[in-house]
């Protein structure tokens, strides 16, 4: 891969030419092959990009980056250092550029962007991971190499590399798309978060299609209001180069957007969308073996057989299916391969041992996602439905009582537990959740997620279903300032004797 990146190298003068002219030839001719925003990742001959971030001023780490071998620094200009100014530290040039943070995506594209990897953007509160991975799975089944970038990692599905954020930084995104292209990816499905959109991390990505799943309460600690949160999501469709907009019109926000956006394909589980092009379900059958969708629309009629469970997964499947149709993928080939699709890890993932309750691990960490997960499982549950749920610390406190209320309303038994307490008191988080309960005395509390699942399994019958919600694929908890190893999936396997 190093050889590939070197071939992509540009001189510093060429790289910065759209925004800043470098008159000194010796500086303009410095070869840039690797851009880094994090000084800890700077190696010999890396070029460090120092911006003023939301929490950290990268310019404070210029000396560290130079000590680690940076060949040049591109830094954000301010009142002390004007646009175009060049200074030296230990013989290494620092070039100051105005509004550098706004140029990051384009800067990354300047260096890494010459590739054939086609990007598909997926946004929404819930379903991003499942939709993006279904798209990649389906393409792979059709012998078209496809990758993903998102919550569960970046890369091809059989070799995902961990990701810190749902949407990486602007330069990493361009670099990863280029690397995946050189590894053979023809398509990459990207989960695009509201944070990533507001911060312009995908500004220079050309999307061949963009998908909207739904909008419900989340990230209000960052956005403030639902209106601002919705506006952030909508940017993917209004401020980026894209192909078709595949919109879930069963969602109220999606239905509204579909009337104003261009090149919309409406998708619905319940009725024919009022859009120029559309795909909708005429009938959906739910069974233990999966979902059967009888569909109709602009590409004709047919039946999709998939081994996933739950109404919201029927929507996810239909959105992924429609996206691939919009890209010219043959409908009959998609129907033929649909039965080979697999559930995404930590997304309605079933663990079971004969004679015990079924355990389902799901990432649901918003009220809407929790309601949908419990409603989906209710269809399959012959006995009692259990919900084990917590809420994260240092995040939207207003969500906590709502999460507990949803659990109480849609489950028969509720156990409140810890999620990622972070710097907050776990007892206070639980107390915030209890405020939303109608009958708090009927709810059990167990801070340890492992013990909470153990308690539920010991108290449940073989025809019960236990939903352990909130962590999904994650293999850690953040307690205080420490990230400790923990996995709901490992807990389920351990307590069920290794069966899944």
39 is in an annotated binding site: yes
Q: For residues 5 and 432, what is the distance between their CA atoms, to the nearest angstrom? A: 50
11 is in an annotated binding site: no
- What are the pLDDT digits (tens) for 25-61? 999 999 999 999 999 999 999 999 999 987 899 999 9
Q: For residues 365 and 387, what is the distance between their CA atoms, to the nearest angstrom? A: 12
46 is in an annotated binding site: no
Helix axes 311-326, 367-380, angle to 10 degrees: 110
pLDDT attached to residue 336: 98
For residue 147, list its beta bridge partners: 188
193 is in an annotated binding site: yes
127 is in an annotated binding site: yes
* Portion of the chain with pLDDT greater than 70, in percent: 96
Query: Contact 452/415 with Cβ under 8 angstroms?
Result: yes
- What are the pLDDT digits (tens) for 305-343? 999 988 889 999 999 999 999 999 999 999 999 999 998
Q: For residues 181 and 8, what is the distance between their CA atoms, to the nearest angstrom? A: 13
421 is in an annotated binding site: yes
Query: Contact 480/438 with Cβ under 8 angstroms?
Result: no
Average pLDDT over residues 446-467: 97
Average pLDDT over residues 459-476: 96
Average pLDDT over residues 292-313: 94
Instruction: Name, in order, each residue with C-beta under 8 angstroms of 46's C-beta and a sequence gap of 6 or more.
Output: 34, 35, 36, 65, 68, 69, 70, 71
pLDDT attached to residue 143: 97
263 is in an annotated binding site: no
CA 416 from chain centre, in angstroms, equals 25
Average pLDDT over residues 432-459: 97
390 is in an annotated binding site: no
233 is in an annotated binding site: no
395 is in an annotated binding site: yes
470 is in an annotated binding site: yes
Compute the residue count for the chain: 500
pTM, to two decimals: 0.81
Buried b / exposed e across 480-496, counting CB within 10 Å, b at 16+?
eeeeeebbbbebbbebb
Question: Across all residues in the chain, what is the average pLDDT?
Answer: 93
For tokens 């999620």, the residue is 419
Average pLDDT over residues 269-298: 94
Buried b / exposed e across 377-410, counting CB within 10 Å, b at 16+?
beebbeebbbbbbbbbbebbbebbbbbbbbbbeb
37 is in an annotated binding site: yes
125 is in an annotated binding site: yes
220 is in an annotated binding site: no
The answer, yes or no, to whether residue 139 has pLDDT greater than 80, is: yes
322 is in an annotated binding site: no
166 is in an annotated binding site: yes
Tell me which residue of 232, 206, 254, 288 sits closest to 465, measured CA to CA.
Answer: 288
420 is in an annotated binding site: yes
Confidence band, pLDDT 50/70/90 cuts, at residue 168: confident
Q: For residues 292 and 302, what is the distance between their CA atoms, to the nearest angstrom? A: 11
- Please name each of the domains of the chain with its CATH number: 2-109 (3.40.1390.10), 115-340 (3.40.1190.10), 349-495 (3.90.190.20)
pLDDT attached to residue 345: 86
């Amino acid at each position: 891969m190093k050889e590939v990146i070197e071939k992509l190298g540009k001189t510093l003068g060429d790289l910065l030419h759209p925004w800043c002219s470098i008159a000194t030839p010796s500086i303009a001719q410095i070869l840039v092959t690797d851009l880094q925003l994090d000084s800890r990742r700077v190696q010999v001959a890396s070029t460090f990009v120092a911006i003023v971030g939301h929490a950290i001023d990268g310019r404070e780490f210029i000396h560290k980056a130079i000590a680690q071998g940076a060949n040049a620094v591109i830094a954000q200009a301010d009142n002390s250092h004007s646009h175009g100014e060049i200074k030296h530290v230990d013989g290494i040039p620092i070039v100051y550029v105005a509004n550098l943070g706004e140029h990051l995506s384009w800067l990354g594209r300047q260096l890494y962007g010459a590739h054939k990897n086609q990007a598909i953007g997926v946004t929404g509160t819930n379903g991003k991971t499942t939709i993006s991975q279904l798209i990649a799975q389906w393409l792979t089944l059709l012998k078209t190499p496809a990758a993903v970038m998102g919550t569960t990692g970046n890369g091809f599905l059989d070799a995902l590399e961990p990701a810190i954020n749902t949407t990486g930084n602007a330069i990493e995104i361009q670099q990863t798309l280029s690397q995946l292209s050189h590894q053979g990816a023809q398509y990459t499905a990207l989960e695009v978060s509201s944070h990533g959109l507001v911060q312009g991390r995908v500004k220079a990505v050309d999307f061949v299609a963009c998908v909207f799943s739904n909008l419900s309460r989340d990230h209000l600690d960052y956005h403030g209001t639902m209106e601002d949160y919705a506006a952030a999501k909508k940017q993917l469709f209004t401020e980026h180069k894209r192909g078709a907009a595949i919109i879930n019109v069963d969602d109220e926000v999606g239905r509204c957007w579909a009337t104003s956006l261009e090149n919309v394909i409406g998708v619905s589980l319940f009725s024919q969308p009022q859009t120029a092009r559309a795909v909708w379900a005429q009938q959906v059958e739910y069974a233990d073996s999966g979902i059967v969708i009888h569909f109709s629309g602009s590409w004709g009629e047919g039946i999709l057989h998939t081994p996933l469970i739950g109404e919201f997964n029927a929507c996810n499947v239909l959105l992924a299916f429609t996206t691939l149709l919009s890209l010219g993928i043959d409908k009959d080939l998609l129907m033929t391969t649909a039965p080979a699709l697999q559930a995404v890890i930590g997304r309605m993932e079933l663990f079971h041992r004969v004679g015990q309750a079924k355990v389902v691990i799901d990432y649901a960490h918003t009220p809407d996602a929790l309601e949908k997960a419990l409603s989906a499982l209710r269809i399959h549950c012959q006995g009692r439905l259990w919900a084990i749920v917590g809420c994260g610390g240092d995040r939207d406190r207003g969500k906590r009582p709502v999460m507990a209320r949803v659990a109480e309303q849609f489950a028969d038994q509720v156990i409140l537990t810890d999620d990622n307490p972070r710097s907050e008191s776990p007892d206070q988080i639980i107390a915030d959740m209890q405020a939303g309960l109608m009958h708090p005395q009927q709810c059990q509390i167990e801070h340890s997620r492992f013990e909470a699942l153990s308690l539920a399994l010991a108290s449940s019958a073989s025809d019960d279903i236990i939903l352990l919600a909130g962590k999904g694929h994650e293999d850690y908890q953040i307690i205080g300032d420490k990230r400790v190893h923990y996995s709901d999936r490992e807990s389920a396997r351990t307590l069920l004797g290794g069966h899944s």
